[in-house]
Amino acid sequence: MDNKKINLIKENTEVVIKVSAMEIVQANKNHLDIFRNLQIKVSHLLLNSKDLKAKELKQLADICKIAVKGERLILGLPTSNTKSKLTNKLTTDLILSPEKIAEMDKFFKEEITNQ
């Protein structure tokens, strides 16, 4: 093969690679938009719905978890942490009053009986 044909093949290959890269970027953008819209919709439902049952909250949490994981995958971020990475890093300053604990117990007992 002469140099003209070799250069033409190289140029065509570069064009194919660029087009493929652009398609990947567009697909990632489309998927990222979907996952972020899901997160927005779940947040909207949580903020505007007062009478959600435990089952409905679980479904929304599952949807949100999938959306966050999908977003992180597309962005190339880790989707989980191992226990060894978290050891000695978790602290909580959460102190619940006995009244708050009783209120939470009552809520979950009602949810169990309503299912």
DSSP state of 77: -
In our burial notation (b when 16+ CB lie closer than 10 A, e otherwise), range 11-43 reads eeeeeeeeeeeeeeeeeeeeeeeebeebbeebe
State pTM to two decimals: 0.59
Distances (CA, A) of 105 to 35, 60, 90, 114: 34, 21, 25, 14
Residue 31: the pLDDT is 93
CA R_g for the chain: 25
Residue 61: the pLDDT is 93
Residue 36: the pLDDT is 94
Residue 93: the pLDDT is 66
Residue 6: the pLDDT is 87
Quickly tell me which residue has 């971020």 as its tokens.
77
Q: How far is it, in rounded angstroms, from Cα 27 to Cα 21?
A: 10
Per-residue pLDDT of the chain (115 residues; tens, 9 = 90+): 788 888 888 899 998 999 899 998 899 999 999 999 999 999 999 999 888 888 999 999 999 999 999 999 998 888 876 666 656 556 666 788 888 888 888 888 776 776 5
In our burial notation (b when 16+ CB lie closer than 10 A, e otherwise), range 60-84 reads beeebeebbebbeebeeeeeeeeee
